[in-house]
Amino acid sequence: MPDLAILGGPPVRTQPFPPWPQFGHPEEQLLLTALRSGQWGRTTGGLNEEFERRFAAYQQAAYAVTCVNGTVALELALRAAGIGPGDEVIVPSYTFIATASAALHLGAVPIFADINPDTYTLDPESAAAVISPQTRAIIPVHLAGGPAEMDALTTLAASHGLAMIEDAAQAHGAEWRGRRVGAIGDLGTFSFQSTKALTAGEGGAVLTNSQRRAETVWSLQNVGRVPGGEWYEHHRLGWNLRMTEFQAAILLAQLDRLDGQIALRGENAAHLDTLLGAVEGIESLAYPAQVTRHSRYLYIFRYRPAAFGGLPKPRFIETLVAEGIPAMPGYPPLHSMPAIVQALEARGIPIRAGSGTALHVTDRAWADEGVWLPQNVLLGSRKDLADVERAVAKIAHHYKDLL
């Protein structure tokens, strides 16, 4: 077997994986429709409203309200759930910073829980352990397109009177027991940022089955106006957080592509599970049968350093990238993220994460185990997937050269 590329050998792969985002004539035509309409911002009866109807139906929700991005969607959902200063919101520590910063921007306090080692989603037992009299909401994150443990989390939220806000930024089209995520809890939030499986470059949406909450979100993102009200009549202090008609145009076309892309990513993920399963020290995440549809926004596998002679995860990823595979280390823990720690310290609030400040599965996923591959890897051919396995197997064969 040739030497490792990082040591001067030839890389397994020099060609890029399929590009993302993907687009074509439908996106171009809908963008022209928006351009020629002369109504480039959100307007009554425009493309935003059409997308809201279609996306709500797609996710099996009664209502959808678009906004400028997924971070804002989380803030709007928390506000619509009545979350405010001093309230505690349980979040996994293994997630994008917005899941926690949205609460902080409202004066609320994120409380960090650990993740399930098999799925890297919020562990219901860890979440239950951090509930206090100040807890008002819980935010499960459907990481990488894999739904969180919604049965146990829904029961937990209901038994303690907590609002359930699903962070489905990475899980467009994913299902738990045949129900689309984002419409299971009280509210659900989505992102349409440029890497997402449904993208317009930027954008977000809040889903709910409550008309009252939908109208609250709509008002908050539309400067405090109310549906059907006068343009200069404001009923609450809101913001201009409206998404443009150009973004809605792209999303309408992208939505037509989504099911086919999810199917392809799912087939390729299953094939990659088989390929990598033959390499000692590499394990795919394992989801329960209740996950009836994984949208495969990312492909995550667990790297076991012991099987590679103790080779640290950062060095493994660096070596994999040198072989032409776009691997990433994943999220650093939020319970030790400087921005979060500083924001809480400025308010005189200590970090609360599990029992103390240790979240062992989260820390291990970041430091030792979790390796991410972007979704465009799963949009490739079987040869593309074989290259991933060849690169990993090459490192397994030569790891002693790196020690």
Q: What SS3 state is found at 62?
A: coil
Region 128-155: mean pLDDT is 98
Which pLDDT tens digit goes with each residue over 214-257? 999 999 999 999 988 999 999 999 999 999 999 999 999 999 99
pLDDT band at 351 (very low <50, low <70, confident <90, very high): confident
Task: Return the pLDDT at 147.
Answer: 99
Look at residue 353 and tell me whether its pLDDT is greater than 70: no
Region 342-357: mean pLDDT is 78
pLDDT band at 354 (very low <50, low <70, confident <90, very high): low
> Could you identify the residue written with the tokens 């911002």?
41
pLDDT band at 141 (very low <50, low <70, confident <90, very high): very high
CB 249 within 8 A of CB 29: no
Task: Return the pLDDT at 128.
Answer: 96
**What does the alpha-carbon distance between residue 302 and residue 381 come to, in Å, rounded to a whole number?**
23
Which pLDDT tens digit goes with each residue over 281-337? 999 999 999 999 999 999 999 999 999 999 999 999 999 999 999 999 999 999 999
**What does the alpha-carbon distance between residue 392 and residue 403 come to, in Å, rounded to a whole number?**
16
Structure tokens at 277: 């399963």
**CATH fold for the domain made of 25-254:** Aspartate Aminotransferase; domain 2 (3.40.640)
**What does the alpha-carbon distance between residue 126 and residue 137 come to, in Å, rounded to a whole number?**
15
Per-residue HEC secondary structure of 158-196 comes to HHHCCEEEEECCCCCCCEECCEECCCCCCEEEEECECCC
What does DSSP say about strands 88-92 and 135-138: parallel, antiparallel, or unpaired?
A: parallel
CA–CA–CA angle 329, 333, 336 (5° rounding): 130
In this prediction, what percent of the chain has a pLDDT beyond 70?
A: 99
Region 27-36: mean pLDDT is 98
**What does the alpha-carbon distance between residue 365 and residue 301 come to, in Å, rounded to a whole number?**
10
Please give the C-alpha separations between residue 204 and each of 163, 273, 289, 332, in angstroms, as whole numbers. 20, 31, 29, 23
- Dihedral of CA 334/339/345/347: which sign? negative
Look at residue 357 and tell me whether its pLDDT is greater than 70: no
Please tell me what DSSP assigns to residue 306: G
Nearest residue to 207 via CA among 88, 297, 76: 76
Region 151-169: mean pLDDT is 99
Nearest residue to 292 via CA among 257, 266, 273: 266
Nearest residue to 12 via CA among 399, 395, 401: 395
Domain ranges of the chain: 25-254, 258-402
pTM for this entry? 0.97
> Could you identify the residue written with the tokens 């595979």?
325
What superfamily does domain 258-402 belong to in CATH?
A: Aspartate Aminotransferase, domain 1 (3.90.1150.10)
Which pLDDT tens digit goes with each residue over 185-203? 999 999 999 999 999 999 9
**What does the alpha-carbon distance between residue 76 and residue 213 come to, in Å, rounded to a whole number?**
10
User: Taking all residues of the chain, what is their mean pLDDT, rounded to a whole number?
Assistant: 97
Residues with Cβ < 8 Å from 153, sequence gap 6 or more? 122, 124, 127, 138, 140, 164
CA–CA–CA angle 393, 399, 401 (5° rounding): 135
